[in-house]
Amino acid sequence: MRKKTMSKDSYKKIEIILDERLSSHEVKIIDILKKKFPKKDFFFEIYELKILFNLHSINLTKFEKMIEQLVKTYNLKKANIFVKLIKKIKGIKSYGLKTGKRVYVGYNKERKVKDRKSKSQKRVPYYYTQDNDFTKEINLIPKEYENKIICGKSEEILSKLPSNCVDLVFTSPPYNFGLDGYENSEDAIDWEKYFNKLFQVFSECIRVTKYGGRILVNVQPLFSDYIPIHHIISNYFMEHKLIWKGEIMWEKHNYNCKYSAWGSWKSPSSPYLKYTWEFIEIFCKGDLKKDGAKEDIDIEGDEFKKWVYAKWEIAPERKMKEFGNPAMFPEKLAERALKLWSFQNDIILDPFNGAGTTTLVAKKTGRRYLGIDISEQYCDTARKRISDIPATLEEFGD
């Protein structure tokens, strides 16, 4: 089979003007780079007082570390051509991401569909929401509920709020409410009552969410009981006229499971599937677009490009024992959700706030918040976590 060749148009050209001819050490470094990286990613063209760097794709972290080591090994001056080259590469803001590399050419090509616009109009996107009765009127959240952690039943507390006063709901519902106060017990669950209780809360969440606002639900199917909770929840929101925007896979890489614990072993009789991920189901009320001020955007370009890929590899929360909650998601998950789907100064609601990760991250990222939970202990923990935030915050980030 013939190897696929790259045309000259497959590369973005970066020019480095030289003050003098390359030294023997600089030439040696270029030769090493040629051997360590494939030509299809990039290659050098060397002229008397100019270098042309032909760039298609690059693992910039690996490239930068290797340059740093080689420059140190050959004792080059700080303002060398390789430092200039890396600076120019970093200055290119338009690129795609693929298998750990930045791709600079051809990353945004799409398969063209004839009459795409007319065909899309004929299909009627999110047809199931067309007869909704949502209003675009925006109401302010009452001051007594702004930046508060409140203990009580969410459906009762939310019923006191005006409609259309919350920008984003981000939550992870408990798997067992209990029937008299949804305390965390391990007793058998009446699933019909469970979903009735859950949907009472979600009904209020829909009402208080603004037109164009979003509801994000982190949930894992209950595999042991064969209940696809993420599908049941999605169906509920779609039946109540919200747009199903999409689904994010939260890959936790949690492989602490016994392969022969359930089901059949080495037999088609009844294999039990193992999952290392959870889901975040995303819904929009009324419109896919949310209005917000440009100065209230706090997501960076690299974050945006990485986070719109709907598989987030984030380790599980490691401090659950410290906070006394066995079912917490990590701050990084909340950070991505809030920065990708809301603006600074937005009102963030978590109706199952638990130990308060959503409200903590809302505070850290310059958003307003309301957290509700039935447990006074969890509410105390959530308030303490917020009070412990230092005056000067370090930035989030991977």
The token duo for 194 is 């469970």
Give me the pLDDT at residue 187, please. Answer: 46
Give me the pLDDT at residue 212, please. Answer: 97
For tokens 């045309």, the residue is 7
Give me the pLDDT at residue 397, please. Answer: 46
Structural domains in the chain?
A: 9-103 (no CATH), 137-259+268-387 (3.40.50.150)
CB 52 within 8 A of CB 13: yes
Give me the pLDDT at residue 12, please. Answer: 92
> In this predicted structure, which of 94-108, 148-162, 313-327 has the lowest mean pLDDT?
313-327
Give me the pLDDT at residue 398, please. Answer: 45
Per-residue pLDDT band for 116 (boundaries 50, 70, 90) equals low
Task: Please tell me the distance from the alpha carbon of residue 371 to that of residue 166, in angstroms, as a whole number.
Answer: 12
pLDDT in tens, 283-313: 999 999 999 999 999 999 999 999 999 999 9
Residues 33-44 have a mean pLDDT of: 92
% of the chain residues with pLDDT over 70:
86
Give me the pLDDT at residue 181, please. Answer: 43
Rounded to 5°, the CA angle 110-114-120 comes to: 85
Asked if pLDDT for residue 238 goes beyond 90, the answer is yes
Q: Is 291 helix (H, G, I), strand (E, B) or coil?
A: coil
pLDDT in tens, 166-213: 999 999 998 765 434 444 444 456 888 899 999 999 999 999 999 999
Would you call 264 exposed, middle or buried from its count of C-beta atoms within 10 A (0-12, 13-18, 19+)? exposed
% of the chain residues with pLDDT over 90:
63
For tokens 């999952």, the residue is 275
Asked if pLDDT for residue 1 goes beyond 60, the answer is no
Q: What Å distances lie between residue 300 and 5, 191, 305, 320, 359, CA to CA?
A: 35, 42, 9, 29, 21
